[in-house]
Amino acid sequence: GFALPPPVQMPQCTWGGLDEKVSEPLLWELFLQAGPVLWKLCLGVIAGYGFVEFLSEEDADYAIKIMNMIKLYGKPIRGEQSLGPQQNLDVGANIFIGNLDPEIDEKLLYDTFSAFGVILQTPKIMRDPDTGNSKGYAFINFASFDASDAAIEAMNGQYLCNRPITVSYAFKKDSKGERHGSAAERLLAAQNPLSQADRPHQLFADAPPPPSVPTPVVTTLGPGVTPPGG
């Protein structure tokens, strides 16, 4: 019996105490400034927490030392090593993308699909172990079914690098043809705090803009003189 090697678990850091204005691009820029670019990808900013994956324990420790001295929007950020997202965050909103152009890389997939919601891990493009060439399909793990539903609806059949891609729910591991996205999974996800944290993206996108508050008029008239209409 041929056994597959266990997946490599990258050390991961969770950054807490983030201001609501902190975005993924901002964290990414900050890490670029902090030192050698050895981390893989910013995995998302969810409810005041950022997730970043590193190539080694040393890189993670180095980043924690550097970043813990920094304030963002006046708030100190706190970094600590955490478990991988599959062990504690996965809600099952996992999609399969097929018919990918071989030139498409993980960053392009991340940039394209993160528009629909928080992605928990670097998109996984299946590659030939000898050549490293893409096999033409990939998996993406979202933090909520709202995000994965939106991605499937918007992207299935769309052209990416001159090829129409197929987007559907991935098959569950070790299951007999059962796909993710079942009613039972959705019920469990509804009770998962991570899934809840991802939901406001959808609501805010559809909500009308808040009514503008009129600016109070400041007058420079002398005391005892009432402004017109006052």
Q: What is the pLDDT along the chain (230 residues), one digit of tens a residue?
A: 555 444 455 667 777 777 777 777 777 777 766 655 555 555 566 666 777 777 677 777 777 777 777 777 887 777 776 654 464 457 889 999 999 999 999 999 999 999 998 888 889 999 998 998 999 999 999 988 999 999 999 999 999 999 999 999 999 887 778 899 988 888 877 766 555 555 444 433 444 445 555 555 554 555 555 555 55
Pick from 184, 201, 84: nearest CA to 147: 201
Report the C-alpha dihedral over residues 187, 191, 193, 198, rounded to 10 degrees: 30
- The 10 Å CB-count burial string (b at 16+, else e) for 13-46 is bbbeebeeebebebbeebbeebeeeebbbbbbbb
Q: How many CB atoms lie within 10 A of CB 67?
A: 23
Strands 71-72 and 134-142: unpaired
Give the residue from 109, 188, 179, 195 showing the smallest Cα distance to 145: 195
